[in-house]
């Protein structure tokens, strides 16, 4: 009898011990552009340091098709003579990523839509929305994708939202993808005119904040930064205030900079900055002097990139990278800097 009582007490005690929750692995979402020669990057990148790849970009043609034979129906290929991206490129990326357990999504839209793009506003109307959603789901299934990333930006986003079509579109697409165990994510700015509507927040698994482009050829303060730490903090705070859960917010970090004065339009990707200005540039955020009317390049080097990763680990689900082909391999890699900070290394 005594042994029975002791066994029962022990069983209750063991049951009462709380099981520690398994730590959630930070997401690292990297964009791969098919409008550049992505293959050298795909061949050497350490896939263990990524959780997701977003292939950019795919758009519908005037007939609403996303695929036309062996080609994407509307995309900017990187071939010397231009042309559409081969569908085989998508399959190539998916196969390589899945081999390493990395999920792959295809990204819709982009900051600048190709001339071949159909009328997104019309294709998301009440009469055509279901057909567009069905076409996207079929695209995802045919290419063995893990989801869809919506990167409809600025004027396109504003027009769709003003017409009351963005939220219904993301709701229907989310339902259709969720039934198949697929993801729906988005990219968004944090300024009026570039933000996804609050009503769409529940429909996304991840909301990738484009926390960069703080200054450009025609916007931003003289001598400003492309992507400062202050901007990252403010952008995260903006989306938390708009009701996005921490578990959905992903902090976007740039692997490029912006040049001004004699540097205007030059050496703006991180790799080119290092090739032109040497390895010491990996530990800075500026080439030249950052001031109004000065010649300088503003970017995020390794220390700032690591700091952003620490901030993301504390306040968000992880980081998003625009974009992977702009990095370098070896000790000066920005992807390595992100990975090490996210994992306290």
- List of domains in the chain: 23-255+301-342 (3.20.20.80)
What would the pLDDT profile of 160-198 be if each residue is shown by its tens digit?
Answer: 999 999 999 999 999 999 999 999 999 999 999 999 999
Residue 134's nearest CA partner among 103, 172, 83, 81 is 172
What would the pLDDT profile of 236-266 be if each residue is shown by its tens digit?
Answer: 999 999 999 999 999 999 999 999 999 998 8
319 three-class SS: strand
Q: Report the predicted TM-score, pTM, of the whole model to 2 decimal places.
A: 0.92
Average pLDDT, the chain: 93
- Which residues are bridge partners to 100 per DSSP? none
Determine if the peptide bond prior to 57 is cis (ω within 30°).
Answer: yes
Per-residue exposure over 322-344, b if at least 16 CB sit within 10 Å of its own CB, e if not? bbbbbbbeeebbbbbbbbebbee
Phi-psi region of 331 (alpha: psi -120 to 50; beta: other; left: phi over 0): alpha
In this prediction, residue 220 carries a pLDDT of 96
């Amino acid at each position: 009898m005594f042994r029975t009582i002791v066994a029962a007490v022990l069983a209750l005690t063991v049951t009462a011990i709380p099981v520690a929750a398994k730590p959630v692995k930070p997401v690292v979402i990297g964009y791969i552009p098919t409008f550049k020669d992505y293959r050298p990057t795909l061949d050497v990148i350490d896939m263990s340091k990524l959780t997701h790849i977003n292939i950019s970009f795919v758009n519908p043609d005037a007939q609403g098709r996303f695929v036309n034979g062996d080609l994407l129906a509307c995309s900017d290929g990187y071939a010397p003579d231009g042309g559409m991206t081969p569908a085989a490129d998508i399959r190539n990326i998916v196969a390589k990523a899945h081999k390493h357990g990395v999920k792959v999504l295809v990204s819709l839209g982009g900051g600048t839509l190709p001339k071949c793009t159909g009328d997104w506003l019309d294709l998301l109307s009440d009469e055509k929305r279901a057909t567009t959603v069905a076409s996207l789901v079929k695209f995802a299934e045919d290419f063995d994708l893990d989801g869809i990333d919506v990167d409809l930006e600025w004027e396109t986003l504003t027009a769709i939202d003003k017409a009351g079509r963005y939220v219904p579109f993301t709701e229907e697409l989310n339902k259709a993808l969720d039934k198949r165990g697929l993801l729906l994510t988005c990219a968004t700015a944090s300024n009026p005119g570039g933000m996804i509507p609050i009503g769409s927040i529940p429909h996304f698994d991840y909301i990738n904040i484009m926390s960069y482009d703080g200054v450009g050829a025609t916007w931003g303060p003289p001598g400003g930064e492309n992507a400062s730490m202050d901007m990252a903090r403010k952008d995260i705070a903006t989306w938390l205030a708009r009701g996005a859960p921490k578990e959905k917010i992903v902090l976007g970090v740039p692997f490029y900079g912006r040049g001004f004065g004699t540097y205007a339009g030059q050496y703006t990707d991180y790799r080119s900055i290092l090739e032109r200005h040497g390895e010491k540039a990996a530990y800075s955020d500026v080439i030249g002097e950052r001031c109004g009317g000065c010649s300088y390049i503003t970017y995020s080097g390794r220390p700032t990139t690591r700091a952003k990763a620490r901030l993301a680990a504390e306040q968000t689900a992880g980081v998003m990278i625009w974009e992977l082909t702009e990095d370098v391999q070896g000790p000066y890699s920005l992807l390595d800097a992100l990975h090490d900070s996210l994992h306290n290394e």
